Amino acid sequence: MGVCATGTALGPEVRATGTGLPVRLVHRWLPAGEREGVHSHSFVEFCHIESGRGLLRTGDESGVAGAHTLTVVPPGTAHALAADNGWACTANLLHFEVSAVPAGQGAALRDLCRLAASGHARVSLRGAAGRAIEADLVQVGALSRQADLPAREACGAGLGRLCVRVLRQVRDARVAAPSPQAPPARPEAAPAAGREETAAAARPEIDHVLAYIERNLARSISRQDLARQASFAPSYFSALFREATGTTIPEYINARRVVRAQELLRQPQTRVSAVCYAVGFRDLSNFNRVFKRIVGQTPREYRRAVLGDAYEEPEEADAEVPAAAPAETALAKG
For residue 319, what pLDDT is reported? 46
130: pLDDT strictly greater than 90 = no
Residue pair 276/319 in contact by the 8 Å Cβ criterion: no
Domains of the chain: 13-173 (2.60.120.280), 192-307 (1.10.10.60)
Distance in angstroms (rounded) separating the CA atoms of residues 233 and 95 = 40
Q: How far is CA 18 from the centre of its chain?
A: 17
161-219 pLDDT, tens digit per residue, is: 999 989 988 888 764 344 444 344 343 444 444 444 455 556 678 888 888 998 999 99
For residue 15, what pLDDT is reported? 35
280: pLDDT strictly greater than 50 = yes
| Neighbouring-strand partners of residue 17 | 25
Q: Give the gyration radius of the chain's Cα atoms.
A: 20
65-111 pLDDT, tens digit per residue, is: 888 899 999 999 999 998 877 777 888 899 999 999 998 889 999 99
What average pLDDT score do residues 134-163 get? 85
326: pLDDT strictly greater than 70 = no
Residue pair 202/230 in contact by the 8 Å Cβ criterion: yes
Q: Which residue has the higher pLDDT, 216 or 150?
A: 216
* DSSP letter, residue 164: H
Q: Which of 178-187, 213-222, 229-238, 292-301 has the least mean pLDDT?
A: 178-187
Distance in angstroms (rounded) separating the CA atoms of residues 226 and 221 = 8
Q: Which residue has the higher pLDDT, 54 or 308?
A: 54
Mean pLDDT (the chain, rounded) = 77
